[in-house]
């Protein structure tokens, strides 16, 4: 698969996930805090070299598609979250199959990794 094709799929999945998360709010964030009562950025991004005062400095697809068990365990009570998780999990399945959802690297590193895996097995 060509680099441009992987980039297009990566960016489309990322943008779609972003829209879905904004619409469905699976972390049920209010202000800075989520359903787990955590500061969303600090909790989910702790220790990552791409975090900054203004948020994530890269567009990592794995992080965009990941939702913790705290939010997942609230989903049986929340139909909106259930719907959202189904969509994100399906997109994660596609990203993983293409090796685009592998790790917390920056966008370029992840695409390079996926390209190598898709060509070299
Ligand atoms: S993934 Fe979990 S810890 Fe992170 S913001 Fe969402 S609910 Fe909070
Ligand atoms: S790559 Fe992931 S963990 Fe790191 S800052 Fe971005 S969203 Fe947070």
Mean pLDDT by 10 residues, the chain (121 residues): 92 96 86 74 79 84 91 82 94 94 86 82 46
**What is the pairing mode between strands 55-56 and 51-52?**
antiparallel
Q: Nearest bound ligand to CA 44?
A: 1
CB 67 near ligand 1, within 6 Å: yes
CA 17 to chain centroid, in Å, comes to 7
Supply the pLDDT for residue 45. Answer: 84
Q: Are 66 and 21 in contact (CB under 8 A)?
A: no
Supply the pLDDT for residue 121. Answer: 46
How many alpha carbons lie under 13 Å from residue 56 in its C-beta half-sphere? 16
Crossing angle between the packed helical segments 79-97 and 3-24, to the nearest 10 degrees:
170
pTM of the model: 0.89
H or E segment and range at residue 38 = none
Supply the pLDDT for residue 85. Answer: 94
Q: Whose CA is nearest to atom 6 of ligand 2?
A: 56
Query: What span, in angstroms and rounded, lies between the C-alpha atoms of 95 and 6?
Result: 10
């Amino acid at each position: 698969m060509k680099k441009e094709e992987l980039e297009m799929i990566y960016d489309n999945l990322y943008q779609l996930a972003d829209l879905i998360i904004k619409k469905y709010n699976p972390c049920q964030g209010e202000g800075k805090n989520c359903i787990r009562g955590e500061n969303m950025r600090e909790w989910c991004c702790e220790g990552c070299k791409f975090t900054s005062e203004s948020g994530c400095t890269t567009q990592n697809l794995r992080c965009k598609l990941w939702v913790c068990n705290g939010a997942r365990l609230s989903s049986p009570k929340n139909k909106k979250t259930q719907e959202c998780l189904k969509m994100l999990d399906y997109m994660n399945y596609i990203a993983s199959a293409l090796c685009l959802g592998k790790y917390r690297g920056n966008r370029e590193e992840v695409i390079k990794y996926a390209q190598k895996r898709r060509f070299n097995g």
